[in-house]
Amino acid sequence: MKALILVGGFGTRLRPLTFSKPKPLVDFANRPMIMHQIEALAKVGVKEIVLAVNYQPKTMVDAMHEVEELYKVKIHFSIESEPLGTAGPLALARDILAKDDSPFFVLNSDVICEFPFEELLNFHKEHGCEGTLMTTPVEDPTKYGVIVQKEGSCAIDRFVEKPKEFVGNQINAGIYIFNPKMLDRIEPKPTSIEKDVFPFMAKAGQLHAMPLAGFWADVGQPKDFLSGTALYLESLHHHQPDALKKAEDIVGHVMAHPSAKIGKNCKIGPNVVLGPNTVIGDGVRISNAVIMDGSSVRDNACVHDSIIGWASSVGRWGRLENITVLGEDVHVADEVFVNGGCVLPHKSVGANILEPRIVM
């Protein structure tokens, strides 16, 4: 079996983290985001994976050598000379995706869920049409393109963009499975699969929808990255509780790398990920936060609703909150308050940031 992951894009919504790494290599729950997807694909028997890349391709190629060996998969790189949207990359990779009659998976690189690929494959084979997309419910469907199914059927009738009146609450989850025949609908040019392909497949009765069980998160921007982390940790609590740290100073769900060091009299959690070689001082408070590889939070500092990038530090009695994001190698001085700051890599912050802003 085969799969294509849409890796292309500059990751602008997740800056400043994506100034240091392509978005698929940004650590999510202490592993590169794309590793969660590749592992799940390998588990259902996918042997060949195409990564559609147009940003920092060499970095992606170098990072995947180890992944191929780990999961016993062959990774192909489809390098786009220009961004091809969400459909063009499928046509570009046609030689691999259509070399036999077996269906292939397609997914967006910033989606995190429990990846029920086996259920999706079985569902797709049962209805026998060209494509299946997974759907997920949302509280406010007026912000999205809503999927409307034919009455009493799993077949998709139409798509309604940002409906003013309620027509449903199921949206595209960014996970698909297709028969190679659907590639005849796409040309190797910038094309949107959502706007230029799906409506025509639906009109032809060739596109079905399967609801996604469990949590779903698009973690492509800091606020959603943090809420997605909380959902992921909640899922681990139910399915792999041993992956979470338990200790007197832990509150709620916390993932801590074995090399992470936590000082005395701390309160860590809920919804915290501590990366490799992180150092947490005494009396520290951390909640709804991600601390990445090699970073430190010094004595009596507080970090809430924030992401600390690689090899960064927060000084003693410092405070980060309100979706603050520190890029790589950022250092916040003692007793400094950062409220919603977005700090670019290799910067020092020596004065309070009282209103959300970008520090360049």
Residue in the block written with tokens 């530090």: 313
What is the pLDDT, as a whole number, of residue 239? 81
**What is the third-level CATH fold of 2-218?**
Spore Coat Polysaccharide Biosynthesis Protein SpsA; Chain A (3.90.550)
Assess contact for 41 and 49: CB atoms under 8 A. yes
138 pLDDT tier (thresholds 50, 70, 90)? confident
CATH number corresponding to 222-359: 2.160.10.10
Taking only Cα atoms into account, the Rg of the chain, rounded to an integer number of angstroms, comes to 21
Phi, psi of 353 (to 5 degrees): -115, 100
Domain chopping of the chain, boundaries: 2-218, 222-359
Summarised one tens digit per residue, pLDDT across range 165-217 is: 777 888 888 899 999 998 988 877 788 888 888 888 888 999 999 998 888 88
Residues 339-348 have a mean pLDDT of 96
Among all residues, which ones are annotated catalytic? 162
Banded pLDDT at 263 (limits 50, 70, 90): very high
The predicted model scores a pTM of: 0.87
pLDDT digits (tens, 9 = 90+) for 209-235: 999 888 888 898 999 999 999 999 999
Range 143-174 burial, b when 16+ CB lie within 10 A, else e: ebebbbbeeeebbbbebbeebeeeeebbbbbb
Element counts in the chain: helices (H) and strands (E)? 7, 29
pLDDT of amino acid 30? 95
Tens-digit pLDDT profile for residues 275-304: 999 999 999 999 999 999 999 999 999 999
Q: Would you give the distance in Å from CA 162 to the centre of its chain?
A: 23
CB 48 within 8 A of CB 56: no
Q: How confident is the model at residue 354 (pLDDT cuts 50, 70, 90)?
A: very high
Q: Which of 85-89, 229-233, 285-289, 317-321 has the lowest mean pLDDT?
A: 85-89
